[in-house]
Amino acid sequence: MSQPNDTPAFQPAVYVYEAPLRIWHWINALAIVILAVTGYFIGSPLPTMSGEASDHFLMGYIRFAHFAAGYILLIGFLGRVYWAFVGNHHAREIFIPPFHKPEYWSGVLHEIRWYAFLEKEPRKYTGHNPLAILFMHFMFVWGLLFMIVTGFALYGEGAGLNSWQFALFSSWVIPLFGQSMDVHTWHHLGMWWILLFVMAHIYVAIREDIMSRQSLVSTMISGWRTFKDQRKVDDGH
Amino acid sequence: MLETFYDVMRRQGISRRSFLKYCSLTAAALGLAPEFAGKIAHAMETKPRIPILWLHGLECTCCSESFIRSAHPLAKDVILSMVSLDYDDTIMAAAGQQAEAIIEETIQKYDGNFILAVEGNPPLNQDGMSCIIGGKPFIDQLTHVAKHCKAIISWGSCASYGCVQAAAPNPTKATPVHKVIHDKPIIKVPGCPPIAEVMTAVVTYILTFEKFPELDRQGRPKMFYSQRIHDKCYRRPHFDAGQFVESFDDEGARKGYCLYKVGCKGPTTYNACSTIRWNEGTSFPIQAGHGCIGCSEDGFWDKGSWYARLTDLKPFGVEANADTLGLAAATTVGVAIAAHAAVSAVSRAKANKSNQPVTAKEQGE
Query: Cβ of B265 and A181 within 8 Å?
Result: yes
Residues in chain A closer than 8 A to B217 (CB atoms) = 171-172, 175
Picking from B222, B243, B294, the nearest residue to A48 by CB comes out as B243
Q: Per the domain annotation, does A51 fall within a domain?
A: no
Q: Per the domain annotation, does A31 fall within a domain?
A: yes
Q: What is the mean pLDDT of chain A?
A: 91
State residue B356's pLDDT score: 58
Q: Per the domain annotation, does A1 fall within a domain?
A: no
* Angstroms from B91 CA to nearest CA on chain A: 33
Q: Total structural domains in chain A?
A: 1
Cβ B167 vs Cβ B302: under 8 Å: yes
- Percent share of chain B, pLDDT over 90: 50
State residue B75's pLDDT score: 55
Which residue from A26, A73, A208 is spatially nearest to A129, judged by alpha carbons? A208
Q: Per the domain annotation, does A233 fall within a domain?
A: no
Q: Per the domain annotation, does A232 fall within a domain?
A: no
Cβ B52 vs Cβ B85: under 8 Å: yes
Average pLDDT of B41-46? 84
Question: For chain B, what's the residue count?
Answer: 365
Average pLDDT of A204-220? 92
Q: Using one digit for the tens of pLDDT, what is the confidence trace for A129-173?
A: 999 999 999 999 999 999 999 999 999 999 988 899 999 999 999
Average pLDDT of A38-58? 92
Band (pLDDT 50/70/90 cuts) for residue B13 is confident
Q: H or E element: which one contains B119?
A: strand B115-119
State residue A159's pLDDT score: 93
Q: Per the domain annotation, does A237 fall within a domain?
A: no
Domain with A202, as residue range(s), is: 16-45+57-95+112-226
Query: Cβ of B322 and A172 within 8 Å?
Result: no
Residues in chain B closer than 8 A to A154 (CB atoms) = none
Specify the CATH number for the domain of residue A70: 1.20.950.20
Band (pLDDT 50/70/90 cuts) for residue B94 is confident
Please give the residue that has the higher pLDDT: either B360 or B267: B267
Which residue from B163, B151, B148 is spatially nearest to B187, judged by alpha carbons? B151
Burial of B127 (0-12, 13-18, 19+ CB in 10 A): exposed
Which of A180, A191, A216 is the mutation pick for testing B, counting most B CBs within 10 A? A180
Band (pLDDT 50/70/90 cuts) for residue B361 is very low
SS3 content of chain A, % helix, strand, coil (to 5): 65, 5, 30
Residues in chain B closer than 8 A to A189 (CB atoms) = 322, 325-326
Question: Does residue A234 have a pLDDT over 90?
Answer: no
State residue B183's pLDDT score: 93
Q: Measured over all CA atoms, what is the biggest interatomic distance in chain A, rounded to whole angstroms?
A: 79
Q: Per the domain annotation, does A89 fall within a domain?
A: yes
Highest average pLDDT, of B17-21, B33-37, B332-336, comes from B332-336
**CA angle, A102 then A106 then A111, to 5°:** 145
Highest average pLDDT, of B6-15, B17-26, B157-166, B194-203, comes from B157-166
Q: Which domains does chain B have, with CATH numbers?
A: 5-225 (3.40.50.700), 228-312 (4.10.480.10)
Q: Per the domain annotation, does A6 fall within a domain?
A: no
Q: Within chain B, how many helices (H) and strands (E) appear?
A: 14, 7
Q: In this complex, is the C-beta atom of B12 within 8 Å of any C-beta atom belonging to chain A?
A: no
Question: Does residue A3 have a pLDDT over 60?
Answer: no
pTM: 0.88
Tell whether the torsion through CA atoms of B119, B123, B124 and B130 is positive or negative.
negative
ipTM over 0.90 threshold: no
List the 32-91 stretch of B: residues with Cβ below 8 A of A.
none
Structure letter (DSSP) for residue A168: I
CA dihedral in degrees (A166, A168, A172, A174; nearest 10)? -40
CA dihedral in degrees (B107, B108, B114, B119; nearest 10)? -10
